[in-house]
Structure formats: C-alpha cells, structure tokens
C-alpha cells in the first residue's frame, strides 16, 4: 500500500475509482493507527476515524461495515507487514536452516520493537472483533501466515537434522512464547533499568535459536 498522511484531503466524489478507493482505505488505516496510538481501542470509533480523514461517518461504512471490520483491517495490515519482512529476511539468509531461523526471529523482534503500538494492538488487546458473518479461520488468515513461516523454517531444519517433522510444532510454539515474552518485557516493563538492549537482544536471539534446535532434537537421553 502507498503511504499517505491521514491529514491529506480526500476528494468527495460519488463513484470513486478503484485507485481512489484504495487510497481512501489506506488513509482510514493510517488514521485508525494514529487514534489507537493516542487513545487505545476505546477511542477508536468510526466517527473519529471518519473525521480524521475528512469524510462522513456514512461514507466510511462503504469500506468497513463496523468497528469490527476496521479492527480486523488493522490486524491484517500489521500481520501482512510482519510476514513480508520476515519472508524477506529468511530469503536473504540463504539455505542454512539455522541462519534462516535466526533471520526469522531477528526480523520479527525488530519489527515489533520499532512498532510498539502494533505490538500492543495485536498482543495486548482482546481478540479483534471479527465481522459477524466472517468465518474465524478466514478472518485470522493473516495471523496464520505469520506463524506458519517459522514452522516451515523449522520443518526444513528438522529434515536436515533427520528428526520427526512433528517436533517442529512444539519448537515453533516455544519460539513464539520466547519472542513474545521478550517483547512484552522490553516494551511494557519500561520501569526496569535495562542495561544494554542491543546485547540483551542478541543474547535473546541466540537463546531462542538454541531452544528451537533443542526442541527439534527432543529431550536429552
């Protein structure tokens, strides 16, 4: 999507072209993120977003049926962006599964650290208000892609190690728990006197990669 400022005027036309509709949808998402960052989910209303982009509340309902769909649109925007960055990092890491796991983890942590409001939206609010008529599996497909990518990396690593691919599921969940735990401590517990964030991050990534490998190999005998 093209980046636009929420303050840019929106042309009032009866029948917008596909490009104009996409531009307005982008403006809506930008404005919604800004409102969420200032006021949280409670302050994120259809009326507030419509006012921010310069359209009537009724016009906004052409793009999002209700707040549920708007919140889901924010989730999809975030998760698609996370997936894209992780996929690019994994591809650039080359064929080695360990390097790909590290790249996948580093890129995810970097994204959330530089987008703390996005982290709060995804991990610190209630499950998004799903559109009433949308199947849950479809509505959360963007989230599924994000958790499937490290699973694919771990399955390839399991193949290289010659172990059962089924172990990749537990290793994926362990990795996710460790990533989210670090990020919650880092982004939420701001009172803690963190000494050297760069060193801490590096050690966390090292630990996560080792833990993922241990999960694939199984318990020591």
Q: How confident is the model at residue 220 (pLDDT cuts 50, 70, 90)?
A: low
What is the percent of the chain with per-residue pLDDT over 90, rounded to a whole number?
A: 54
- DSSP per residue, 112-181: HHH-HHHHHHHHSSPSP---TTS-HHHHTHHHHHHHHHHHHHHHHHHHHHT--TTHHHHHHHHHHHHHHH
CB 77 within 8 Å of CB 29? yes
Q: What letter does residue 15 receive in the DSSP assignment?
A: S
Domains of the chain: 1-64 (1.10.10.60), 68-217 (1.10.357.10)
Over the range 55-86, which residues count as b (16 or more CB within 10 Å of their CB) and which as e? beeeebeebbeebbbbbbbbbbbbbebbbeeb
Residue 131 backbone dihedrals phi, psi, to 5 degrees: -55, 135
Helices 97-114, 116-123: axis angle to 10 degrees equals: 100
Rounded mean pLDDT of 164-184?
Answer: 96
Give per-residue pLDDT as tens, 6-44: 444 444 434 567 777 788 888 898 999 999 888 888 888
Structure tokens at 70: 């708007």
pLDDT of 210 strictly over 60: yes
Task: Please tell me the predicted confidence (pLDDT) of residue 16.
Answer: 60
Give per-residue pLDDT as tens, 119-168: 998 888 875 554 455 444 444 588 899 999 999 999 999 999 999 999 99
- Count CB atoms within 10 A of the CB of residue 38: 11
Q: How confident is the model at residue 205 (pLDDT cuts 50, 70, 90)?
A: very high
For residue 155, which of 97, 72, 79 has the smallest C-alpha distance? 97
Residue 46 CA to residue 147 CA, distance in Å, equals 30
Rounded mean pLDDT of 159-178?
Answer: 96
């Amino acid at each position: 999507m093209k980046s636009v400022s929420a303050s840019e005027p929106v042309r009032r036309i009866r029948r917008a072209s596909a490009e104009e509709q996409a531009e307005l949808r982008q403006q809506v998402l930008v404005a919604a993120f800004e409102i969420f960052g200032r006021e949280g989910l409670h302050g994120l209303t259809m009326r507030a977003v419509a006012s921010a982009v310069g359209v009537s509340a009724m016009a906004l309902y052409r793009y999002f049926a209700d707040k549920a769909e708007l919140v889901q649109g924010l989730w999809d925007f975030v998760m698609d962006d996370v997936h894209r960055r992780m996929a690019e990092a994994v591809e650039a890491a080359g064929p080695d599964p360990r390097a790909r796991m590290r790249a996948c983890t580093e890129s995810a942590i970097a994204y959330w650290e530089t987008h703390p409001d996005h982290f709060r939206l995804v991990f610190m609010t209630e499950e998004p208000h799903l559109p009433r008529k949308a199947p849950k599996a479809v509505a959360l497909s963007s989230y599924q892609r994000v958790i499937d990518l490290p699973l694919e990396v771990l399955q390839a690593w399991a193949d290289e190690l010659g172990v059962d691919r089924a172990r990749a599921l537990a290793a994926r969940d362990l990795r996710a728990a460790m990533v989210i735990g670090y990020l919650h401590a880092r982004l939420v517990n701001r009172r803690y006197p963190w000494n050297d964030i760069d060193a801490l991050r590096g050690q966390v990534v090292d630990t996560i990669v080792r833990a993922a490998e241990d999960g694939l190999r199984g318990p020591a005998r």
